[in-house]
Amino acid sequence: MAIHNFYAGPSIIDASILETASNAIRSREDLLSVIEISHRSVRFGEIMEEARSLVRELAQLDDDFEVLFLQGGGRQQFFQVPFNLLNFNQVAYYINTGSWAKQAMHEASFFGKAEAIASSESTNFNFIPKSAPVPENAAYLHITTNNTIYGTQFHDIPSVDAPLVADMSSDIFCRPLDYNRFGLVYAATQKNAGTAGATIVMVRKSILKKAPGSIPTMVDYQTHIKKQSLYNTPPTFAVYMSLLTLRWLKASGGLSHFVQHNEAKSNAIYAEIDRNSMFVGHALKEDRSIMNAVFTFTPEVNQVRENDFVAFCEARNIIGLKGHSSVGGFRASMYNALPLESVNALVDTMQDFEKQFG
């Protein structure tokens, strides 16, 4: 029986990638398992270089960009970004689209001034606010392109003169995008780009103005640029998993394929949310995410509880649907690796649930 994995992350991985990874651990190809090899070996150097080069190719980055594989996920970037880009006499601006954006903004306050230039907090972050003009002397403008908790996503990337910094942890490589409009993009890899344990950073070298050696070596992007992501021991297996995922993204047709795939899935689930008398979407339609559909019961539903629907789904191997506590209800995460069949199975189940309890 098929498993339909709607978890928000760590999340579904294509079966072909699991198979390749499993074999690479077991078989001591070239004498060693992939998790035994030195990060200074030729074999790992090739893994790192191919992974960095595939990120560059998929994002179609210009020459001012460097691609890094770091550790610590989005939370490490929350403070690493301002450590590198913000001075105490400057202001960094954030568009406050929810919990992740707020937490990122809080960390900037250790290094300078951090201000929300726009926010959707008053309506529990159910839309993407349009950015007010960003002052000329801004250190940067930070956005969270996709908001897993609320199911919102930037469909129009703001135009600003200041460096634009984006947390793309939950929607990297879900669609073609002009990555060259950004100053810095970061993404934990456990949703669309591998497994937990690595962080992809794409950084425009020209925005790095602090003198080399003026901040701790490990958090200085210039350290990792100079050493091509081999300054310290990288999370070798997590980078290998990203390589397998990036190869699979490319071989499957690249970002133009995945945006079609992801829109087919999100169109199907949103059509059912809008049709079904028991459910209502959280986000405004124009800002709905193609990665995470967040929905609740309508106020009229009172004969069943949220856990009943979760259990109804789990009985059909449809898992990971429980919503985040900030919104309640349900969340269907539909990252690149989720097949359309899983969304169809969920839609069928929502219809059956309505027939039985609606």
Residues 167-206 that bind a copy of itself (CB under 8 A): 188, 190, 195-197
- Interface map 319-348 toward a copy of itself (x if CB under 8 A): xx----------------------------
Q: For a copy of itself, which stretch binds (CB under 8 A), given 158-166, 173-181, 216-224, 264-272?
A: 216-224
CB of 88 to a copy of itself, least distance (A): 15
Place of tokens 């634009």: 164
Q: Which of 116, 157, 218, 304 binds a copy of itself (CB under 8 A)?
A: 218
Nearer to a copy of itself, 77 or 120 (CB): 77
State yes or no: residue 61 binds a copy of itself (CB under 8 A): no
Q: Which of 47, 48, 55, 76 binds a copy of itself (CB under 8 A)?
A: 76
State yes or no: residue 18 binds a copy of itself (CB under 8 A): yes
How far is Cα 44 from Cα 136, in angstroms, rounded to an integer? 43
Residues 80-109 that bind a copy of itself (CB under 8 A): 103, 106-107
Q: Where are the alpha helices (H) located in 42-171, listed in sequence order?
A: 42-59, 73-85, 99-108
How far is Cα 210 from Cα 110, in angstroms, rounded to an integer? 16
Nearer to a copy of itself, 126 or 195 (CB): 195
State yes or no: residue 294 binds a copy of itself (CB under 8 A): no
Handedness of CA 165, 167, 173, 175 (dihedral sign): negative
Q: Are 153 and 175 in contact (CB under 8 A)?
A: no
Q: For a copy of itself, which stretch binds (CB under 8 A), given 172-180, 211-219, 268-276, 303-311?
A: 211-219
State yes or no: residue 118 binds a copy of itself (CB under 8 A): no
Longest dimension (CA), the chain: 65
Q: What interhelical angle do 15-26 and 236-251 show, nearest 10?
A: 140
Nearer to a copy of itself, 98 or 235 (CB): 235
Q: What is the set of active-site residues? A: 100, 167, 191
How far is Cα 176 from Cα 59, in angstroms, rounded to an integer? 8
How far is Cα 95 from Cα 154, in angstroms, rounded to an integer? 11
DSSP secondary structure string, 155-217?
A: SSPPP-SSPEEEE-TTTTTSS---GGG-SEEEEESTTTSSSTT-EEEEEEGGG--SPTTSS-G
Q: Which of 129, 235, 323, 329 binds a copy of itself (CB under 8 A)?
A: 235
Residues 6+ apart with CB under 8 A from 63: none
Nearer to a copy of itself, 26 or 209 (CB): 26
* Alpha carbon of residue 268 to chain centroid: 21
Q: Which of 123, 180, 233, 267 binds a copy of itself (CB under 8 A)?
A: 233
CB of 86 to a copy of itself, least distance (A): 12
Pairing, β 152-153 against β 65-70:
unpaired
The CA-to-CA distance between both ends of the chain, in Å, stands at: 27
CB of 30 to a copy of itself, least distance (A): 10
- Site residues for a copy of itself per CB under 8 A: 3, 5, 7-13, 18-19, 21-23, 25-26, 28, 31-33, 35-39, 71-76, 78-79, 103, 106-107, 110, 188, 190, 195-197, 215-219, 231-238, 241, 317, 319-320
